[in-house]
Amino acid sequence: MIDVDVETGLIRQARQVPSPNFDERPGDCVASLIIVHGISLPPGEFGGPWIDHFFTNNLHPETHPYFSEIAGMKVSSHLLIRRDGELVQYVPLLKRAWHAGDSCFDDRDCCNDFSIGIELEGTDEIPYTTVQYERLANTISAIRQAIPRWLMPRSSVTVMWRRAGKQIPGLCLIGGF
């Protein structure tokens, strides 16, 4: 069971790793879209501290050649689901995380304004794990139940195209939600 605190936007079962890369959603904008991304740092490697470091501006470029390309980026996501199903939260769900970049969905620009970003640790070349899919489904369900005023229809779960070293986890995700 996943429990979302509707006052703070925090998920009680998630490991909290606060990112400085967020701000308030504009005006009366609330989340009506969930965007699922894929990420691994360095590309194709799993389980290290690098995603946490990336989203908290602590990624040192000398650690890995790829990091020199992305170390200065100011990005975050609301949530990460690791290969073993661990849930990590970087930004409260009620705030605007910086995960979608210059984006558009359903003729609306600036997807960060009205979305929740969920990262899956993985790549296009290696299948995501069953426990990740299960945790993703449970997390989306908990978000919808905890914050019904957001009125997220089933069709509001989508994937983002490759951007800033992140990859999409495959269109097969949409059908199950």
Q: Which residues are catalytic?
A: 119
Those residues with Cβ within 8 angstroms of residue 117's Cβ, 6 or more apart along the chain or in another chain? 35, 37, 76, 77, 78, 79, 97, 99, 100
The percent helix, strand, coil of the chain (3-state, each to 5) is 25, 20, 55
- 14 exposed, middle or buried (CB, 10 Å; 0-12, 13-18, 19+)? buried
Residue bearing tokens 């050649």: 65
Element (DSSP H or E) covering residue 69:
helix 67-70
SS3 category, 135 = helix
Q: Which of 17, 163, 34 is nearest to 90 (CA)?
A: 17
